[in-house]
Amino acid sequence: MKVCGVVAEYNPFHNGHLYQLAEAKKKTGADVLIVAMSGNFLQRGEPAVIDKWQRAQTALSHGADIVLEIPAAFSVQPADLFAKGAVELLDLMGIDVLSFGSESGDGSDFLLSAAMYLEKEEEINELFKREQEQKLTYAKNMSRLLAKYLPEIKLDLTQPNNILGFAYAKELQKKNRSIGIQTVRRKSSHYHDQEIGSGDEIASATAIRKILSSSKEWETASSLPFPEETKTSLVNSKLVKWDDFFPYLKYRITTTSLEGLSQIYLMEQGLEYRVKAVIKEAEDMAGFLTALKTKQLSWTRLQRICFYILLDKTKEEMEKRIDHLNFIRLLGFNRTGQTYLSEIKRQLEIPLVTNVSQKNSALVAHDITVSEVYRLAEHDRIKSQDYKRKPIKMD
């Protein structure tokens, strides 16, 4: 039985994701397709538009056989740590091949590039410290450095999907995992496209979220290129955004000491002073981030820092949590997935969590906290995310 793994966020699930799942299954010849999906807060530090259960159900309706949740300790992280959690999760589930979308390159390009990079990683890190330009982002600095010192790497590492794919490949190489890579080239739209062209069947999630956040009439959003299940979820759900949490964030920053802020995970040295000063005048999340953003400190990194301020998570606590995975959270499966789970569950090295209870709540405590914070966006409309929730079972 051949098993393919896919790392996803589905924020929200659209036609591009449907295409990627179909291509992953076709290109790999997989009998089982396992999706490792971020939960209610995502890699770029933003909340998911709709909750993890609705996104998991749509994925199961469109090609996924099993959907697992990437633990929150790894889901809101820079690319390398995000990749570490996702790849380890899929490896524990016994995948043979990893499939992901890319702007360029095939599987061998990513694996070869990762091997070349890791061979000279220490040297590259030292060069990066000496030669980085303050006016450039980390991605552009690293891409420029690799083009100069490792010209054999042909991947465009300024592109978001390539950056994540490169991180997955490095993780596979570092742990010497015998897992292949199969890429699916992005079709039609680019990751950061802000607009949807007339007649586009596939649009970027960025463009879709932009319309959802600004549309006052559902008729505008309902014509967007995504499956009916996503449309139904969006119609019937609270569409969550950072501004829903901004009052809580402002309270947390206002009442936390400078010393306390300095200990928050991912907080840059000295940034706590600017955070304290800027929050006094900020009226919404966009204004707050705009005032804090610099050429070196990206919007994405600031969102991640804000997430950890909101949760009051320290560097000491998070560094322990990202040491390794200690559970697998099952969100849903179909008949094919159920058969595969029955075959491998006794071989799993860590617990498979199907129902959250008092017995295992300590194991998933961080994820429970993240879900409860997510529900603050609108407690009455967002159902309990952990207790009393069973994995989705699709026929």
For residue 165, tell me if it sits in a domain: no
Same domain for 78 and 37, yes or no, is yes
pTM, entire model: 0.91
Find out whether 117 and 159 touch, Cβ atoms under 8 Å: no
Same domain for 228 and 348, yes or no, is yes
As given in the structure block, the two tokens for residue 71 are: 């633990």
**Residue 191 pLDDT > 60, yes or no?**
no
User: How far is residue 41's CA from residue 235's CA, in Å, rounded to a whole number?
Assistant: 20
Domain C-terminal end among 320, 347, 375: 320
7 marked as part of a ligand binding site: yes
Nearest C-alpha neighbor of 169 from the set 73, 74, 97, 70: 97
pLDDT tens figures, 298-351: 999 999 999 999 999 999 999 999 998 999 999 999 999 999 999 999 999 999
Domain C-terminal end among 320, 346, 369: 320
Average pLDDT of the residues in 64-85: 97
For residue 197, tell me if it sits in a domain: yes
User: How far is residue 311's CA from residue 31's CA, in Å, rounded to a whole number?
Assistant: 40
326 marked as part of a ligand binding site: no
Same domain for 75 and 138, yes or no, is no
Cross-strand bridge partners of residue 36: 7, 68
Q: Determine which helix (DSSP H) or strand (DSSP E) holds 53, and give its type and residue range.
A: helix 52-61
| Structural domain that includes position 290 | 243-320
Sign of torsion over alpha carbons 193, 195, 200, 204 = positive
Provide the domain count of the chain: 3
CATH of the domain at 234: 3.40.50.620
CA 376 to chain centre: 21
12 marked as part of a ligand binding site: yes
Same domain for 302 and 340, yes or no, is no
212 marked as part of a ligand binding site: no
Same domain for 277 and 381, yes or no, is no
Average pLDDT of the residues in 240-267: 98
For residue 164, tell me if it sits in a domain: no
Find out whether 144 and 135 touch, Cβ atoms under 8 Å: no
Query: Helices 285-292 and 299-311 sit at what angle, rounded to 10 degrees?
Result: 120
Same domain for 339 and 305, yes or no, is no
Domain C-terminal end among 290, 320, 350: 320
Buried b (16+ CB within 10 A) or exposed e, 16-27: bbbbbbebbbee
Find out whether 103 and 24 touch, Cβ atoms under 8 Å: no
73 marked as part of a ligand binding site: no
67 marked as part of a ligand binding site: no
Instruction: Judge residue 347's burial from the number of C-beta atoms within 10 Å of its C-beta, 0-12 exposed, 13-18 middle, 19 or more buried.
Output: exposed
For residue 93, tell me if it sits in a domain: yes
Find out whether 369 and 385 touch, Cβ atoms under 8 Å: no
By percentage, how much of the chain surpasses pLDDT 90? 70
338 marked as part of a ligand binding site: no
Same domain for 3 and 75, yes or no, is yes
Same domain for 332 and 223, yes or no, is yes
Instruction: Judge residue 243's burial from the number of C-beta atoms within 10 Å of its C-beta, 0-12 exposed, 13-18 middle, 19 or more buried.
Output: middle
Find out whether 50 and 248 touch, Cβ atoms under 8 Å: no
For residue 166, tell me if it sits in a domain: no
User: How far is residue 350's CA from residue 357's CA, in Å, rounded to a whole number?
Assistant: 17
Widest distance between CA atoms in the chain: 58
**208-217, 255-264, 265-274: which range is least confident on average?**
208-217
358 marked as part of a ligand binding site: no
17 marked as part of a ligand binding site: yes
**Residue 193 pLDDT > 70, yes or no?**
no
13 marked as part of a ligand binding site: yes
191 marked as part of a ligand binding site: no
Same domain for 334 and 190, yes or no, is yes
Same domain for 8 and 71, yes or no, is yes
Average pLDDT of the residues in 370-382: 96
CA dist list (Å): 297 to 88, 158, 315: 29, 16, 18
> DSSP string of 365-385?
HHHHHHHHHHHTT-TTTS--S
Same domain for 65 and 117, yes or no, is no
pLDDT tens figures, 31-43: 999 999 999 999 9
Nearest C-alpha neighbor of 184 from the set 99, 98, 79: 99
**Average pLDDT of every residue of the chain:** 90
pLDDT tens figures, 200-240: 455 566 666 666 666 544 455 556 667 888 888 888 889 99
User: How far is residue 281's CA from residue 377's CA, in Å, rounded to a whole number?
Assistant: 22
Same domain for 281 and 336, yes or no, is no
Average pLDDT of the residues in 96-104: 92
160 marked as part of a ligand binding site: no
